Chains A and B, each alone.
Chain A
Amino acid sequence: MADRAAVPQAPELTARRRSGLPRAASPAVVLAMLAIATLAAVVLFMTLDLRGNLGYVLPRRAVKVAAMLLVAVAVGLSTLMFQTVTANRILTPSIMGFDSLYLFIQTALVFAVGGSTLATAPVVGKFAAEVLLMVLFSGLLYRWLFTGGARSLHLMLLVGIVLGTLFRGGSSLLQRLMDPSEYIILQDLFFASFNQVDPALLWASAAVVGAIAAAAWRLRHTLDVLALGRDTAVNLGVDHRRVVSWVLLMCSVLVAVSTALVGPVTFFGLLVVSLGYQLCREYSHRWLLPIVGLLGAVALIGGQLVLEQVFGFDTALSIIIEFAGGILFLFLLLKGSLK
C-alpha cells in the first residue's frame, strides 16, 4: 500500500521541474514568424544599399537570393530526413561525407572526360550526369554502410568523417594530376559561390528541389513513424528498407543540388535542424519540414546580409558556420546524445 502511494511522486517531481522551462510557442506561430522573417530577409537583401544600374543589380541579387533559398531548403530537408531515417540527432549527410563525394564526382568527371569537353557541354546536362553518378555512388556506399553488420553510431560517424577527408583529398589529388592549364580554366567549376550561379542551373535545381520537397511532404506521416526506430517502424507496417533507400536517394539528390550551387557547407544542416527541433514543440514532420526549410532560409540570407552589411565581409559565412557547427557538434558529443 505504501508502495502504491509512493509511485506517483517521482514523475510528478520531474513534471514540475520540466514545467519550469519556458513553453515554446505553438508550431503554427513559429512557422508564421519564420515566414515573416524569411520574407523580411529577402526584401532587405534585395533592396538595401541599392545603387547603380537597377536593371543589372536587381537580377543579380535575385539569382543570389534564389540560390540561397534553394540551398537552405535542400540542406535543411536532407538533414532532417537523414536524421529521421537513421533515428538520431547528430548524423547529417555532410558529416557523412555526401557533399565531399559530390565534389569528388565533379572532379573525377572533369578528369575522365577532360576539361575542355566539359566546359563546352550544356550546364544542365553536366549537372544531370553528376547527380546521376552521385545517386549511384552514394546509394551503393551508404546502403553498404547502413545495412552492414553492427551499426554503431560512433563507427558510422567516424567512417563518414574519414570518407569526407578521403573524398576531399582525392579531389585535390586529381586536380593536381590534371594539366595545370586545364585546371585553371576549371577552377570556377570547383569553387562555386552564390555570386556566380548559372541561371539555367538555378531553374533545374528549383525543379528538382520542388519535386523532392513535395515528395517529402507526402511522406510526412511515414517519416514520423520512421523516427521511432527501425523495429517499431517495421512493426507498424512500413517497408523499412524500401522507404529508407528512397529517402537516402532524395537526400543524395538534395546534397548534389546544394553542393553544385555553393560547394560544401558541412555543419549548416546540423545547426538548422538542431535549432528546428528546439523551436518546434510538436514532434511531427508536418511542422518540422516547413520550419526547418524556412529556418535555413532565414539563417543563410540573414547571415549573409549581416556579414555583408554590418561587417563588410563577403564569403566568410561558410567559415563561421563551420566554427559554430563544430562547437555544436562537440557539445552534442559531450552531452552524450549518442546512443
Chain B
Amino acid sequence: MIRLSGVCKSYGTARVVDQVSAEIPSEGVTSIIGPNGAGKSTLLSLISRLQPMDAGSVAVGGLDVAATGSRELARTMAILRQENHLTMRLKVRDLVAFGRFPHSGGRPTAEDRGHIEYALEQLDLLTLADRFVDELSGGQRQRAFIAMVLAQDTGYLLLDEPLNNLDMKHSVEMMRLLRRLADELGKTVVVVIHDINFASCYSDTILAMRGGRLLHQGTPGQIMQPEVLREVYDIDIRIEEIDGNRIGVYFA
C-alpha cells in the first residue's frame, strides 16, 4: 500500500500539489487522471522521491520515502518519468540491464540476466535487443525504458504517462501487461494517464486530480460519471457502457 498524508509541493508561489492524502491499495492498477496542470506528474515525483515534498509524508510498502535509503527504495519501487533522454549510445539490452543495478551494483549475476530477458520478452523487444537506443522510434524507446523498470523487479511500479509515443496496438499491449503484472505477479502499479477510457478499462482504482488537489478516489464505476468528470475536466462527457466497460464520449 502507498499511504500519502498531507502532501504539498509549491514552485515559488504556485502550489502544485495541495494537501493530498490518499491510500493506494496494493496489488492492482491505480490510475491518476486530471487535466493539464492538475499536479499528477508532480505527485508521482513526490511519491517516488524524485523531488522533495514541502510538507506531508509518503510511505510505500511501509517505507517512509523521506527517511529510507535510496538503494532500498530502488528495490521496492520503480519510477519512469515521461521524458527520457540518453546522452550516450547504449544498446537496448544494456539499458534494460541497468534495471538490475539496485540489486547487483553493476555486476550482473545469472539471476539478473533472467530478469533482463524476461523484461525484454514482455515488452516485445527481443528482436531489438542489440540495437542502439538512439536508433529506435519513439515508441520502441519508450518500451525499452519500461523494460528497464520492469527488470528492476519491484513490488511497486510508478509510470508517468506510459502510453506517450505508443500507437494503439502498443498502448493496448502496455495496459494489458500492466494488468497482468498486477494480477499474476501481485504488483502495485500506479500510472498517470491522460486517456480516461484506458483508465476506466484497466484500473482498479482511479484518483482524479485538479488544481493540485485530489478531488475523488474510487473505482472506475464511481469515477466514470458525467457529474464527476465535469467537475474534473470542466466539459460534459457522456458515459456509455460497452462490453461492461464505462466509456466516456467527449469528441463531440
* Residues on A facing B (Cβ under 8 Å): 3-4, 10-11, 14-15, 18, 87-89, 220-222, 224-225, 227-232, 234-240, 277, 283, 339
Contacts and interface: CB of A to CB of B under 8 A. Distances in A.
6 closest residue pairs by CB, A with B? A221-B106, A237-B74, A237-B71, A237-B102, A283-B88, A236-B101
Nearest to B105: A221
B135 A232 contact: no
Given A221-B107, A339-B85, A236 B135 contact: no
B80 A235 contact: yes
B101 A14 contact: no
A15 B84 contact: no
5 contacts: A224-B106, A227-B87, A231-B84, A237-B69, A238-B101
Contacts of B71: 237-239
Contacts of A87: 85, 87
Nearest to A236: B101
A224 to B, nearest CB: 7
Interface of A is mostly: helix
A14 B106 contact: no
A11 B169 contact: no
A14 B133 CA distance: 12
B137 A10 contact: yes
Given A11-B140, A89-B87, A283-B88, A238 B131 contact: no
Contacts of B98: 224-225, 228, 232, 236
Contacts of B72: 237
Given A221-B101, A235-B79, A235-B80, A15 B131 contact: yes
Contact of A231 (B79, B136, B140): B79
A274 to B, nearest CB: 12
A235 B106 contact: no
B88 A235 contact: no
Interface centre among A4, A227, A232, A277 (most CB of B within 10 A): A232
Interface in B129-144: 131-132, 135-137, 140
A230 B81 CA distance: 11
